[in-house]
Structure 1
Amino acid sequence: MAAAARSAEPVLPPRQIVHIVEDDEQLRLSLLDLFQSLDMPADAFESGADFFARAPQDLGGCILLDVRLPGANGIEFQSELDAKGYQVPIVFMTAHGDVATSVHAMKAGAIDFLQKPLRTEELLEAIQSAFAIDAGRQQARLKRQTVRDRASSLTPRETQVMGLVTSGLMNKQIAFELGISEIMVKLHRGSMMRKMKAGSLAELVRQFELLH
């Protein structure tokens, strides 16, 4: 019972870190020094392959990404991130940017597109914006996981009742649909509401929508 209760608790989100992907070693070290001086956690990778070899998939924060990288370029790396399931905001940086590249990157979900040499104020504004977006995404993911954990504790009958309740059916209608008594519907419904920690029908509907 205790183990089941622990599994329903939301996992803490990963801390926010600036993940620098830049092949220029001097710039990598310079950026690490900058973020360290601001007490802002940061790590660095020299290529996309290096990133995928060392970075966890549930990382938090943002990726500060150079457009021109050895192997796959930044735009290709952006696509690969999406394909592998990474969900972290990207801030691009380049000394060779053009309008077409920046538009492509932004349409694919990039937060900003910065020109080198980087201006500290502009860089930090972009990082803070990316952190804010990431924080919102992390909270949404945690909420969905919490609801999934609650729903996993339901019996098959309670799951059926939840679906019918959230579709707007009354207890009597649910009893008819399932071929059981109205009293049993009330019992299943009460147990389901407690397990889902739903204080109202509206709250249950919101959770049901997150599940689907």
Structure 2
Amino acid sequence: MPKTIRVVEDDPSVRNGLEYLLMSEGYESEVYESAEAFLAGDAASVPGCIILDIRMPGMSGLELQNILIERKYPHPIIFLSGHGDIDIAVGAVKKGALDFLQKPVNADKFLEIVQEALKLDQLRTGNLYNPQDLLLLAEKLTDREKQIIGLIFQDISNKSIAERLNLSPRTVENHRAAAYRKLGVNSAEQLKDKFFLIKEELEAAVNS
């Protein structure tokens, strides 16, 4: 699967400049003008990294980082910082970001750290299941089991799942146990760790 560099930057001149630089070096990229647009449009199953501006209108880069940490987002983050944001950027690195680059961005340094991020992403995800293998495992589930697994990904309790699907809690538990056996997991935590790369596909089954 080709790697994609996500650029989340509200300044169109910076955003377009980085997109052109990446394209000229043969990289695939996706650009977003805001953190909100990134959350709405990104496919976490695609390998790569994120170039993330610290200060943006609406949700800041740091707020987006916190959300991605909660979601166990696997891809490395590289922050873009202004002159007055160095201390903030250092704090972001301490929370797990790979590094930060100060604007205006030096092209050689930028490409060097992007390459480092992609290597790190390969190491992080190299032991994960291939998304296609995960999809094949998920195909073993019945439609009802897929619905329940999708709701588990949304942190919905068994009781609430039962009410939503008009089933008894015991029936939900039986479906859940059967799905776990087919998927080779023993808990919701294992489910989310193993099948994170096809999270969107599993959640889509909720309304099918």
- TM-score by structure 1 length? 0.59
- Once residues 4 and 79 of structure 2 are traced to their aligned partners in structure 1, the CA distance between those partners, rounded to angstroms, is 16
Match among 55, 66, 72 for residue 53 of structure 2: 66
What are the superposed Cα offsets for residues 131-178 of structure 1, whole Å, 9 maximum, x if unpaired? 0000011112128x97xx99xxxxxxxxxxxxxxxxxxxxxxxxxxxx
Give the corresponding residue for 1:81.
Answer: 68
Equivalent residues, number: 139
| Equivalent AA in structure 1 for residue 12 of structure 2 | E
Residue 55 (structure 1) aligned with residue 39 (structure 2): no
Q: CA deviation at 1:76?
A: 1.0
Q: Please tell me whether residue 119 in structure 1 is matched to residue 112 in structure 2.
A: no
Task: For 1:16 and 1:61, locate their aligned partners in 2 and report how far apart those are by CA, in whole Å.
Answer: 5
* Among 98, 119, 131, the residue aligned to 1:132: 119
Deviation at 1:87, TM superposition (A): 1.2
Which digits, 9 at most, give the CA deviation of each residue in 1:49-79, with x for residues without a partner?
1001111122311000000111121111101
CA distance in 1, matches of 2:100, 2:24: 23
Residue 110 (structure 1) shift: 0.7
Cα distance, 1:94 vs structure 2: 1.5
Q: Which secondary structure state, in structure 1, belongs to the residue aligned with residue 67 of structure 2?
A: helix
Query: What letter matches 1:32 in structure 2?
Result: E
Q: 1:133 to 1:97 in 2, by over 3 A?
A: farther
Misfit runs of 4+, over 3 Å: 96-99
Corresponding residue number in structure 2 for 1:142: 129
Residue 96 (structure 1) shift: 3.6
How do residues 14-29 of structure 1 correspond to structure 2 at under 5 angstroms?
14-29=1-16
1:107 and 2:97 matched? no
Q: Which amino acid aligns with 1:61?
A: G
State the Cα distance separating 1:15 from its structure 2 match: 2.4
1:87 maps to a residue whose letter is P
TM-score, normalised via structure 2 length? 0.60
Q: Which has the larger radius of gyration?
A: 1
**What 5-or-longer segments of structure 1 have no aligned partner?**
1-13, 151-210
8 Å CA contact retained: 2:74, 2:125: no
Counterparts of 1:98 and 1:85, CA distance in 2: 25
SS of residue matched to 1:140: coil
Report whether the alignment pairs 1:35 with 2:22: yes
CA distance in 2 between counterparts of 1:27 and 1:95 reads 12
For residues 50 and 68 of structure 2, what CA distance do their matches in structure 1 show? Answer: 10
- Counterpart residue identity of residue 82, structure 1: I
Identity %, equivalent residues: 36
